[in-house]
Structure 1
Amino acid sequence: MPNSTNTVKIGIIREGKIPPDARAPLTPEQCAEAMVELPVRIVVQPSPVRCFKNEEYTAHGIHLQEDLSDCDVLLGIKEVPVAQLLGGKTYLFFSHTMKKQPHNRHLLQAVLQKNIRLIDYEALTDERGERLIAFGFYAGIVGAHNALWTWGRRTGQFSLPRLCESHDYAEVLEVYEKLILPPLRIVLTGTGRVSTGAAKNLRDMGILQVAPEEFLEKDFSEAVFTQIAAQDYVKHREGQAFDKTHFYAHGEEYVSAFAPYYRRADIFINGIFYDKKAPAFFTVEEMQQPDFQIKVIADVTCDIVPDSSVPSTIRASKIADPVFGFNPKIGQETPPYLPDSVDVMSIDNLPSELPRDASAFFGRQLLEKILPELLHGRASDAIRRGMIAENGSLTLEFRYLADYVAIQV
C-alpha cells in the first residue's frame, strides 16, 4: 500500500464500461490542488467522453498519459472492463460486487486472479458504518428535477429542460427563477443523502416545504412538498410505539402507513434505503383504487421488483429514455403519459445527468476524506474497511463473497 514517505503516482482512468460514464473522480482543479496539498502526482488517461475535456486537465498542469502501468493507484467511477484491468495495481471504483451481483462475478474473479487491491467507494465507511464518499446527494437533485420534468411532460402545464442537456446546475437554476408551477403536492421519503439532495432541488424550484401533518390536513394554492421519515410511513403491526432501531432490525414486524400520503400526493419521490424485510409503501392492488392519487413516481433508489419498496419499479429506466408507464390494472408496463398509467422515472445512474457538478461534489469528498487515508496505507481503518480484495484473496470483511467468486460460468 502507498505510504506518505514517497510521492504516490495516481492515474485517472478512462471509463471503459459501455455506455461510458462522463463523470470523473477528480476535477482538473482538484487534481492540481491534490498535487499541492498531498505527496501525490496525478496523470489522466485521455478520454473523448469525460465531462472535463482533456485540455481542461492540461490547462491545470495535469499531464495526459495513455499507458498507466507506472501508476501506483488507479481511480475510476464505474466497473472496469476485465480486459482493461492492470495486474498488481490498487484500484478505487464502484465494483457493484458487494451484493453478489451476477453480472459482475467475472470482474471480481479477475481482480483476484490479477492480484489487484480493490477498494470500493461504497465500502469506505467511518467507525459508525456511515459512508465517507457517495454520489447520493446528486442522485436526489436529479431525481427530483426529473419528477417535475415528468409531470410537465404528462400534463403540459409547464416545461423543464433535461439536466443531461444542460452545462451544469447553475444553468438550470436560471430556469427555475422563471418557473411557474401549479399547486402540486409532492411527498418525498427518506432523510439521507438522496433525500437531502431532492429536498434542495425542490426548494431551488421555489416549492414550499410543509410538515407532514399540514400536507395531509390542509389545501394549498401553491406547489408544496413534505419530507417524511420511517416513523411517518410505517407502523408496528401490533401497535407498539415506533422505535427506529427496532424497525431497522425487525422490519418484518411493521406494516405500511403510507396510504394517507398516496391519497393526497400528485408526485412521489422515493429516496429511502430499502431493506426487503420492511413493508413496501403500497401494493399494486392499492394502486388500482380510486383514492390512489399519485400519477408520477420518481424512484431515485431504484430497487427493482420483487425486492422493491415501490411495486411499479419493474425495471430501471435510462437517461436517454427516462420514463415508462405502469398500468396497475394489468400490472404491466405501458408507454408513458397515458391516463390509466402511473409514470415511473427509475434511472439507475442519475448523477450522470449532471456530471460536472456531481464529479466536483464527489471529488471534494475524495480529496478531503479518502486520499489522505489512502496515503496512510495499512494504518487506515477506513481503507481497510473499504478493501474487498488484496494479494489474490478476499479480505476478512468480504469473505462472504467466497461462494460468489467460486462459481465458474
Structure 2
Amino acid sequence: MRPVHLWLRHETRSTERRAPLVPHDAARLVADGVQVTVEESPQRVFGIEAYRAGGCRVVEAGSWVDAPEDAHILGIKELPDEPDSLRHTHIFFGHAYKGQDGADALLARFATGGGQLLDLEYLTVDGRRVIAFGYWAGYVGASLGVLATRGTLAPLHPMERAELDALVRAAGADGMTALVVGAQGRSGRGALDALISAGAILDGWDREDTLVLDREALLDHELLVNCVLSTTAQPPFVGPDDLTAERELRVVADVTCDVTSEYNLVPVNTAITSWEEPARRVAEDPRLDVIAVDNLPSLLPREASVAFSADLVPLVPTLAGRRGPWREAQRSYEAAQAARA
C-alpha cells in the first residue's frame, strides 16, 4: 500500500489563521512515512519554514487543484468556488449534510469530479465526534459574550489567550448571570471554563435539561451561550416571541452557529456575524444581541490548532483504509449524495 499523502491547503478566508496540522505533528507524520505537502499561506499562524524543517514538501498556495490523484486535501473552512468539479478526497468542515446554504452545490462539485468529502464533523465513534475545535470555540464564544453583555465588544483580531482573558477581566463579569446550554460537550466545557474564570454567576444545562424547556428560567439570564448542535427539530431556545418578552437576556453567543439549518435553535438570527461586526442587534426594547461568528477558534489560532492537530494525528494511520472514524465520515458522505439522487 502506498503511504498516505496529506496535502495541507492554504485557507482562502482572510481571518482563518488556524492549521489542522501543526509543524511538530507534521514532522512526526513524516518520520512515520507519511508524505506531507504544505501550501504556503500568508496568514497561517505557523510559518512555512517550521513545516519545511520537519521534512514537509512546500508548494504554492492554491496548488492543490493540481495535486496527485491520491493526495488527501486537508483544510478547515470552505473551498474556493473553483474548480467546478472536485476530483480529490477533501478533509475539512464542509457543512453540507443538513441543508445549509451552498450544500447542494458543494456536493454536486464532488459528484461531478469523482472526489469525496470526509467531513471532519462526521469523524465519529458510537455517534460521538472524535476531533473538533469545540473547546476553544466555546471558550472564545463565552468570552465574547461577556464583552458584549458589558458593552465592550470591539472588532475582532487574532490574539493569544492571555490577551483575551485580560479583555474579559477588564470588562468584568461579577454579578453577571450566564447560562451555557450543551454544557457537557467540548464547546460547553470551554464556555464553562471561560465564565468560571470571568467570575460570572453560572448555570450549565446539558441536552437533557432542554428537552422540556424552562423558557422563563432561560430568559432570566443576561447571557446565553448556545453549544447545542441539533440534528432533529425541537423548540428553539430563543424564538421570535421572546424578542418582546420581559426578560433579563441581553446577549446570545451562538457557538454552534447553525444559522442556515432548519434545526437552528436560535432562529431569531439567520446569518453569521463578522469579525468586523461580531454582534448583531435583533431587538431594541429590551435589547438583544446575537454573536454568530462561524470561526471563533481562529481568534486563538495557536491554541486551537495545537489541540486539534493532537487529535488528528492518531487517526492518520487508518485513513487510507477508511477504518474507524473515517469509515463513518465516508458513510455520511455517501448518504448525503444518495439523498440528492
Would you say same fold, with TM above 0.5?
yes
Q: 1:6-405 to 2 correspondence within 5 Å?
A: 6-16=2-12, 18-19=13-14, 21-36=16-31, 38-66=32-60, 67-68=63-64, 69-70=67-68, 72-84=71-83, 88-126=87-125, 128-153=126-151, 164-173=156-165, 180-190=172-182, 191-205=184-198, 207=199, 223-235=200-212, 256-263=213-220, 265-290=221-246, 292-304=247-259, 307-327=263-283, 340-368=286-314, 370-375=315-320, 377-378=321-322, 380-387=323-330, 395=334, 398=335, 400-404=336-340
Distance 1:86 1:170, change over 3 A: farther
> For 1:149 and 1:176, how far apart are their aligned partners in 2?
6
1:218 paired residue number: none
Q: Which amino acid aligns with 2:193?
A: K
Secondary structure at the counterpart of residue 195 of structure 2: helix
Secondary structure at the counterpart of residue 95 of structure 1: coil
Q: Which amino acid aligns with 2:192?
A: A
Q: Which amino acid aligns with 1:111?
A: F
- What are the superposed Cα offsets for residues 87-141 of structure 1, whole Å, 9 maximum, x if unpaired? 6433212222212435132322222222223311122111x11112112222111
Contact preservation (8 Å) 1:189, 1:195: yes
Q: Which amino acid aligns with 2:16?
A: D
> For 2:174 and 2:325, how far apart are their aligned partners in 1?
47
> For 1:106 and 1:388, how far apart are their aligned partners in 2?
19
Q: Which amino acid aligns with 2:289?
A: D
Q: TM-score, normalised by structure 2?
A: 0.86
> For 1:118 and 1:274, how far apart are their aligned partners in 2?
21
Distance 1:228 1:63, change over 3 A: same
- What are the superposed Cα offsets for residues 280-336 of structure 1, whole Å, 9 maximum, x if unpaired? 23543344233x111122121223386432343242211221011122xxxxxxxxx
Distance 1:234 1:169, change over 3 A: same
> For 2:257 and 2:170, how far apart are their aligned partners in 1?
31
- Cα shift at 1:204: 2.9
> For 1:54 and 1:260, how far apart are their aligned partners in 2?
50
- Cα shift at 1:21: 2.6
- Cα shift at 1:14: 1.4
Secondary structure at the counterpart of residue 226 of structure 1: strand
Give the number of equivalent residue pairs: 334
Contact preservation (8 Å) 1:319, 1:353: no
Contact preservation (8 Å) 1:166, 1:172: no
Query: Larger deviation: 23-32 or 270-279?
Result: 270-279
- Cα shift at 1:195: 0.7
1:251 paired residue number: none
Q: TM-score, normalised by structure 1?
A: 0.73
Contact preservation (8 Å) 1:92, 1:119: yes
- What are the superposed Cα offsets for residues 143-192 of structure 1, whole Å, 9 maximum, x if unpaired? 10110111222xxxxx5777x53532244345567774431111111121
- Cα shift at 1:61: 3.9
Contact preservation (8 Å) 2:273, 2:279: yes
Query: Larger deviation: 63-72 or 345-354?
Result: 63-72
Contact preservation (8 Å) 1:150, 1:323: yes
